[in-house]
Each structure stands twice: as C-alpha cells, then as structure tokens.
C-alpha cells in the first residue's frame, strides 16, 4: 500500500465525496478499511452514494472526524461496487477494525436488511 492509502486506512473516518449527474459534490463520512492495495467502505444498497458510484466512478477521499469535518488532504480515486463475496470481506475488515461498534452495526444491518441489503465499495486512489 502507498503512504496515502495507509494514511486513509488508518483513519477512523473518511470523507467520501461522490458526484451527482449535474456534477455537484456530495460528501459523506464513512468507515474505511484496507482492501488489498486499495480501500473499501460499506453502505446500504439504496444509499445515494451507491447510486452515484454506479453512475460515475470518480470519487475523492479525505480523512475526517465523526461529523464529516475534513481534517486532511483530499485524494481523487475511482470506486466500484463489490460483489457479495467481496462485500463479506469488507464486513470482516470492519469487524476487525471497529470492534464491538462495528460488530453491532453489522449485526443490526443484517437483521434489518439481510446480507443483500448492503454492499462494499472498493476505492482505488489515483
């Protein structure tokens, strides 16, 4: 992994910016985990960020706090929606990194939506 990827993977939260059809940026704080030589986030299938990534792969990532206040440099990247097997690996990484809060969040999501109700998003920094 590069220093940029390591820095983002080590942060507790990342500010993921996706883009609407008209080019308007939409920033969302997310949990972020290492995923091979890239990074990954996890989200509800119907979330706006997932819809925007399906339409346009360009994203930016920056470190942030819980409220989404940017605390680091912003890096451009490309995102792609992961399949069910890869999404399970993202869930495993979230359990590992975020401990009890990660496990609880994932369990509640599974009870509410099932495994198919969430998806992993791989992000490769340009």
Which residues are CB-neighbours of 57 under 8 A, at least 6 positions away? 78, 79, 80
- pLDDT tens per residue across span 47-64: 999 999 999 999 999 999
Round the average pLDDT of the chain to a whole number and report it: 93
Q: Do the beta carbons of residue 123 and residue 61 sit within 8 Å?
A: yes
Q: Which CATH class is domain 3-125?
A: mainly beta
Q: Is the pLDDT of residue 77 over 80?
A: yes
């Amino acid at each position: 992994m590069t220093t940029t990827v390591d820095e983002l993977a080590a942060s507790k939260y990342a500010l993921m910016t996706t883009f609407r059809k008209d080019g308007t940026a939409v920033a969302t704080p997310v949990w972020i985990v290492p995923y091979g030589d890239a990074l990954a986030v996890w989200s509800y299938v119907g979330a706006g960020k997932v819809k925007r990534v399906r339409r346009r792969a360009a994203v930016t990532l920056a470190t942030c706090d819980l409220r989404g206040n940017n605390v680091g440099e912003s890096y451009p990247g490309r995102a792609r929606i992961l399949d069910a097997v890869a999404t399970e690996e993202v869930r495993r990484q979230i359990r590992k990194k975020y401990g009890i809060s990660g496990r609880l969040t994932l369990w509640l999501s599974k009870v509410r939506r099932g495994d198919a109700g969430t998806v992993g998003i791989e992000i490769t920094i340009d």
